[in-house]
Structure 1
Amino acid sequence: MNSGRKATRRGLGFWMTLALVVGNLIGSGIYLLPATLAPLGTNQLIGWLVTIGGALCLAVVFARLGAKLPLAGGPYAYASAAFGPLAGFATAWSYWTMIWAGNGAIAVAVVSNLSLIAPWIGKTEGVPALLSVACVWLLTAVNIRGVRAAGEVSLVTSALKLMPLVLLIALALWLALSGAPHVVQPPVPIAAGAIATAAGLTFWGFLGLESATVPADKVENASTVVPRATLIGTVLTGVVYLGISLAFYAYMPTGQAAASPAPVADFLGAHFGGHVASVVAVFAAISAFGTLNGFILLQGEVPWAMARGGVFPAWFGKESSRGTPTRAHIVSSILLSCVTLMNFSRGLGDLFQFIASVSLAAGMLSYLMAMLAAIRLLPAERLLTVVALIGAAFIVWAAWGLGEKALGYGALFVLAGVPVYWAVRLRQDAMR
């Protein structure tokens, strides 16, 4: 599964791999999440701590698997090695579905933030949809050009997206050190249900922590770089997320934060002037654009790895002269474009939200299978087994938060891929 790429091609170094992880974790959502979490009060801080703890367990497991088995495909490769091709296919199918369906929302987020700077975009019928699809195909072209080009985009956008977030945290630290009075927030009872709600919301901010493991065959010195980038990227992201949440809790009233359509911009604007809102919107668009780039890289790599593993049509396993899975990229982006356009179609917004939630429920399987694969593949590492069990329990808990309906349809989504698997297997048997 890790063969087929020429060693002479330049791959992703440590900084580009770290940028891929951080870029995929920190998207446009963090610019809106403070408003969503504000009504939960102290529960949001506890929820962040629980989520960060769970994410670190997942990161440790993925880092160890990446060090021991630097195979292309990430969760798919591990599930296939541990439980066979059918389990590997189900894992990859769920993961791939989650990526390309979820990318539709990210593409929309890019244009939504741009419309805050140029209102005519949102007021002109058809323009937002066309710009969103244009972003998809621009970044698809970048990824087809080569992993190095995609890595360079991730490096630049990851550095830029951190700037306003780090500025916000630095401002909060300065306020604390200068003795500025804290905001007295209205009391919100600490409750298990509210903590679960907070953890459910914050977990989406860590989807993609396994990003470095998926294109592992393209990473230079993968057995060292992949685990380092996975752990450092997850820790760095957790620090940024928690720092922002603490800043809002300490220095912005709950009601103001909850009612704000752009809480990060409002927080910074209160101290640097209202004109900062447009600047933050630019960075939010860059943030979403960088995240879209990283996940488009993954949505091409997963079907390529499946095809090379013999559980997906071999057509997807063909590469360009640059060593990129061009066919897999094109098909994935066609699906992504359809989902993106569907989000802009009149009367189909609810359908898009339904598909996104179902695909996310289906995608949880890939994380669970990776935890179970670690237990199966590395039985001698008892501490890792404990960490993997905690990670698996966290995934089950987070999936439960999606609700029975989403999980039920998510299971059907996974089962819908089974005929594809058997068709491929039958064709292979017939050719023998």
Structure 2
Amino acid sequence: MNASTGTPRTLGLAACIALVMGNMIGSGVFLLPAALAPYGWDAVAGWVFTIAGSLVLAYVIARLTVLMPDAGGTAQFITRAYGPIAGFAIGWIYWISVIFTNVTIAVAAAANLSSILPALHRPGLGALVSIAFLWVTTAINLIGARAAGMTQLATTALKLVPIAVVFILLALMLGSGRAEVAPFPAQGFTSAGITASAALTLWALLGFESASVAADKVRDPARNIPRATLIGTAVTGIIYLLVCSGIALTLPAAESRSGSPFAAFVAHYWSPGPAHLIAAFAVISCLGALNGWTLLQGEVPLAMARGGELPRWLAGTNARGTPVRALLLSCALGTLMLIANSLQGLVALFTAMALLSTSATLWLYVGCALAALRFRLVVPAAVIGLGYALWTLWGAGLVPSGASFLLMAGGFPFYAWARREGRKLA
């Protein structure tokens, strides 16, 4: 039981690792080989930088959680380091990024399903299915954190099946010499290619902070959160490096850039029949990630409302401690975003939302690194993490990064509303 809020702590180490890995192993692993194929070997270097940078940032965030186990979420680290305005700005843009992430993952689930049901390529129908996915996972989370955690454990186990199949198939093809690996370019690695691919690969690893964000629901957070964060990040990063790079470098260019590169790989080196099964598992994987991120899209505004940074209406929970209002509002905003962009194709919508979500989330990582520096906590790691986050923010592009900054500024009217509400109650 959380003594400060009275809510039960239902997530143990296994559920925390499943939350971290489940939030990262989602749409990214199944679609990134297509996005990274044009970068060739530069993407391999991009993965190395991303995994290293993510581990450093994960370590910084985990240490901040141990220092402030009662903070109630990662955005509160920035509040305690630099004041309520800075904390609100980071918390607000992170909440928006979680909504963007959920929209992106729902679209990815629909895109993978379209390889089985081609009718979903029609933009309106694809958006409708994506909206249905959003509300199904919201309904699961409305039951409570325990139901969400059990769902996460089940979907994490299921989503590893297609990854294992591709990994074994890849090893067999390389061992037998049937797979033709793209040759290493004569000019070597290029800085532009590494930077661009690193911004894309980070999208796949977003979520390593998940256990810290849900600290309010974690048993023994000072022990379980750092372990779950580092274990989940390291294991996921290695899986991504091997599987995504293997597909991108061994599949013909035209096939690797398909909407379902995992299924294309299985069809090319095995048979079209199993490829449909792989696509089905990819949908399950996306829904598992969506379930975990839906948990966060309720916890983030809940913590901010309790801290007086958002209207108190969002602080309401039911008897199980579930932030019903925050979950419903977040899902409604995601639904409106999908409706507004329903005329776009699924691939175009996924790409735009992925870049915007990555840029928005990077502000949280920048803030956490700066908070660690303010508290003189793991200073070398904080400096490295800050440099990596700023470099990746630049690599994401001016338009997504600029848009995320404007969205961050757009939250201050709600902050002023919450402050006026607090003064009236005082």
Q: Which of 289, 292, 296 is the aligned partner of 1:291?
A: 289
- RMSD after superposition: 2.5
Q: C-alpha distance in 2, partners of 1:3/1:312? A: 22
**Mapped pair 1:427 → 2:409:** no
Q: C-alpha distance in 2, partners of 1:45/1:179? A: 21
Q: C-alpha distance in 1, partners of 2:182/2:353? A: 40
CA deviations on 1:324-382 (whole Å, 9 max, x unpaired) are 111111111110111122232369997997676445433321111011112223x2x4x
Do the aligned residues in 1 keep the contact of 2:46 with 2:195 (CA within 8 Å)?
yes
- Secondary structure (helix, strand or coil) at the match of 1:310 reads coil
Cα 1:106–1:272 shift into 2, 3 Å? same
Q: C-alpha distance in 1, partners of 2:95/2:42? A: 33
**Mapped pair 1:327 → 2:325:** yes
Q: C-alpha distance in 2, partners of 1:206/1:347? A: 24
Do the aligned residues in 2 keep the contact of 1:199 with 1:398 (CA within 8 Å)?
yes
1:226-375 correspondence to structure 2 within 5 Å: 226-248=225-247, 251-253=250-252, 255-345=253-343, 357-358=355-356, 360-375=358-373
- Secondary structure (helix, strand or coil) at the match of 1:116 reads coil
Paired position in structure 2 for 1:79: 78
Paired position in structure 1 for 2:162: 164
Do the aligned residues in 1 keep the contact of 2:17 with 2:228 (CA within 8 Å)?
yes
Paired position in structure 2 for 1:6: 6
Cα 1:241–1:348 shift into 2, 3 Å? closer
CA deviations on 1:195-218 (whole Å, 9 max, x unpaired) are 111111111111111000011010
Do the aligned residues in 2 keep the contact of 1:35 with 1:261 (CA within 8 Å)?
yes
Do the aligned residues in 1 keep the contact of 2:126 with 2:346 (CA within 8 Å)?
no
CA deviations on 1:163-213 (whole Å, 9 max, x unpaired) are 111222223334445566653537363211111111111111111110000
Deviation at 1:128, TM superposition (A): 3.1
Deviation at 1:222, TM superposition (A): 1.2
Aligned AA (2:6): K
Give the TM-score normalised by structure 1.
Answer: 0.91
Q: C-alpha distance in 1, partners of 2:260/2:350? A: 23
Paired position in structure 2 for 1:402: 396
- Secondary structure (helix, strand or coil) at the match of 2:114 reads helix
Cα 1:336–1:169 shift into 2, 3 Å? same
Deviation at 1:226, TM superposition (A): 0.8
Q: Which of 380, 383, 386 is the aligned partner of 1:389?
A: 383
Do the aligned residues in 1 keep the contact of 2:141 with 2:295 (CA within 8 Å)?
yes
- Secondary structure (helix, strand or coil) at the match of 1:322 reads coil
CA deviations on 1:222-241 (whole Å, 9 max, x unpaired) are 11111111000000111101
| Structure 2: stretches of 5+ with no match in the other structure | none
Paired position in structure 1 for 2:93: 94
CA deviations on 1:367-422 (whole Å, 9 max, x unpaired) are 11011112223x2x4xx211111111111011111223333332221111112112
Aligned AA (1:19): A
Do the aligned residues in 2 keep the contact of 1:17 with 1:226 (CA within 8 Å)?
yes
Paired position in structure 2 for 1:145: 143
Give the TM-score normalised by structure 2.
Answer: 0.92
- Secondary structure (helix, strand or coil) at the match of 1:187 reads coil
Deviation at 1:29, TM superposition (A): 2.3
Q: C-alpha distance in 2, partners of 1:68/1:298? A: 21
Do the aligned residues in 2 keep the contact of 1:105 with 1:340 (CA within 8 Å)?
no
Aligned AA (1:113): N
- Secondary structure (helix, strand or coil) at the match of 1:344 reads coil
Cα 1:213–1:303 shift into 2, 3 Å? same
1:170-181 correspondence to structure 2 within 5 Å: 170-177=168-175
Q: C-alpha distance in 2, partners of 1:273/1:78? A: 50
Do the aligned residues in 2 keep the contact of 1:18 with 1:229 (CA within 8 Å)?
yes
Aligned AA (1:427): E
Paired position in structure 2 for 1:27: 26
- Bigger mean CA offset, 286-295 vs 33-42: 33-42
Deviation at 1:283, TM superposition (A): 0.9
Deviation at 1:258, TM superposition (A): 3.8
Aligned AA (1:80): T
Aligned AA (2:146): R
- Secondary structure (helix, strand or coil) at the match of 2:322 reads coil
Percent identity (aligned): 41
